Amino acid sequence: MDREQHGKLVAGVDTSTQSTKVLVVDLEDGRVVASGRAPHTVETDDDGRSETHPDVWWRALRDALAATGVADRIAALSVAGQQHGLVLQDARGHALRPAVLWNDTRSASVVDRLRTALGGEVWAERIGSVPVASFTVTSLAWLRDREPDTVAAAHSIRLPHDHLTERLTGRGVTDRGDASGTGWWSATEERYLAEVLDLVELEEGRLPEVLAPGAVAGEVHSEAARDLGLAPGAVVAAGTGDNMAAALGLARPPGAPVVSLGTSGTGYVTSRTPTRDASGVVAGFADADGAFLPLVCTLNCTLAVDRMAGWLGLDRDAVSEATRCVVLPYLDGERTPDLPRASGTIVGLRHSTTPGEILRAAYEGAAASLLGGFDTIAATGGEVDRDAPLTLIGGGAAGRAWRDVVARLSGRAIHLPDAQELVAIGAAVQAAAALTGETATEIARSWDTSRGRVLDPVPRDDAALDRIRSTSAALRPALQTH
């Protein structure tokens, strides 16, 4: 570490669905010296709507920075944001309407139209991902049908992390990781694709510049500094999507599987080779460091299981050792499998079935979709190390029942990092790289961000996996139209 950098502080911002979190880290050793958090309001309904006004994120960022008590000492920061969100801006960078979030499934009605226009093979080959409900491209197509005047009036279109970075610096930029989740930027060709932009009537000039890994977005301008309590001129990194930031923070080797258990669930690996999955199960994203991040995502994860525990009147860890029933916890529709109109389903109930068995089945139903995704990642070109421990992160990783179910359904050793806020840690790594010129990998390894404990593997419960997968396959036609 350069002597001039000694004692400096960097910050990682995680603007997620429910809250904004800020971690302030000592640049030299990666020690967290302060943190802050502020909640978001999310507007939802039973028709699949999920929206937040971007001003909520800005106010939450202000409050979270203030809670750290050291905002004016931050030398560099980076924003990691929830992927896919659609922000329509006017010429001054102000939002024209609430942002359509990643878990808004109303755009399911346009998915077939977009897929058919280019064909699943073309989407997979050229973009890296086949569009599903909630991708930015599908949200824009859906919104254009319903609010054409608002879309036409938008001077620029941004993702959540882009919007906040632009408010910090005045510059419209993004990074390859988050851009690869839009549906109109190609992870394999590293550019916006005219065929997709034409399909949704979008001019490239309304989109942000895509910066290279390690690039600097700019500096905090004076107005933003006054509003947020930051030092004017603090360096702002390019930022990235939340999953890409967590991958930066973990610095796991290529092929090592990661499962993140939050409001949504994700399973991914860092891969030196891209995936091309015409079925749409695997999203072939880019990562924030020059490689790829093939990923599967479930909309229903910890929130759905906690809701089931509440209905049953149980503590979330009060699960039975085994179960004979199957729960498909698709309370908000689902993305993997692609069932945006589905609802929750319980199969195999008997008079003897206990509440603990039902709750265990809810955990298993949520976990099985994620774990099965690694087979698809490997089959479509991604690197998956069959022997590496599975890294478990997110809020659910602290739960005894989650750890037990993932261990039994994967048959792998389970790696539990000590760090609890890996998205914010990854953003801090990115900020440090922008400040020092070192690579994100060098920073993460010097901070030892992946340190933690490893739980020994247990035999895989193939019977449970077979029961869940056969039930899901049998019910799929009904769930598709429920």
Residues 434-477: pLDDT tens digits? 999 999 999 999 999 999 999 999 999 999 999 999 999 999 88
Distance (Å, whole) CA 311 – CA 107: 29
Q: Which of 106, 105, 98, 107 is nearest to 42 (CA)?
A: 98
Q: Which of 5-9, 75-79, 459-463 shows the lowest per-residue confidence on average (mean pLDDT)?
A: 5-9
To the nearest whole percent, how much of the chain has pLDDT over 90?
A: 90
Structure tokens at 388: 């590496």
Q: Which residues of 315-339 are buried (b: 16+ CB within 10 A; e: fewer)?
A: ebeebeeebebbbbbbbbbbbbbbb
Find out whether the peptide bond into 337 is cis, omega within 30 degrees of 0: yes
Length of the chain, in residues:
482
Rg (C-alpha) for the chain, rounded Å, is 21
- Strand 326-328 relative to strand 345-347, pairing: antiparallel
Q: How confident is the model at residue 337 (pLDDT cuts 50, 70, 90)?
A: confident
pLDDT at 481 over 70: no
pLDDT at 217 over 60: yes
At residue 204's C-alpha, the angle toward residues 53 and 223, to 5°, is 45
pLDDT at 293 over 90: yes
pLDDT at 478: 86
What value does the mean pLDDT take over residues 196-206?
A: 97
Distance (Å, whole) CA 309 – CA 303: 10
Distance (Å, whole) CA 246 – CA 429: 10
Distance (Å, whole) CA 312 – CA 477: 28
Name the 3-class secondary structure at 70: coil
Distance (Å, whole) CA 455 – CA 448: 19
Q: Which class does domain 258-419+452-481 fall in?
A: alpha beta
Distance (Å, whole) CA 368 – CA 463: 12
pLDDT at 1: 47
In terms of pLDDT, which residue wins out, 481 or 135?
135
- Strand 87-89 relative to strand 240-241, pairing: unpaired
Cβ atoms of 203 and 197 closer than 8 Å: yes
pLDDT at 456: 97
Any idea which residue has 């254009």 for tokens? 144
Distance (Å, whole) CA 365 – CA 370: 9
- Strand 235-237 relative to strand 74-81, pairing: parallel
pLDDT at 482 over 90: no
pTM: 0.92
First to last CA, the chain: 58
**Does 258-419+452-481 match 3-250 at the fold level?**
yes
Residues 140-166: pLDDT tens digits? 999 999 999 999 999 999 999 999 999
- Mention every residue, 6+ apart, whose C-beta is less than 8 A from residue 14: 20, 21, 22, 23, 80, 81, 242, 245, 421, 423, 424, 427
pLDDT at 3: 41
Q: Which of 1, 10, 4, 442 is nearest to 220 (CA)?
A: 10
Q: How confident is the model at residue 480 (pLDDT cuts 50, 70, 90)?
A: confident
Homologous superfamily assigned to 3-250: ATPase, nucleotide binding domain (3.30.420.40)
Residue 338 falls in the annotated catalytic set: no
Distance (Å, whole) CA 114 – CA 352: 47
- Which one of 14, 242, 277, 404 is the catalytic residue? 242
Q: How far is CA 51 from CA 42, 131, 251, 342, 475, in A?
A: 6, 20, 32, 20, 30
pLDDT at 134: 84
Please report the DSSP string for 279-330 in residue order. TSSSEEEE-SSSSEEEEEEES-SHHHHHHHHHHHT--TT---S--S-EEE--
Q: Where are the domains of the chain?
A: 3-250, 258-419+452-481
Residues 358-398: pLDDT tens digits? 999 999 999 999 999 999 999 999 999 999 999 999 989 99
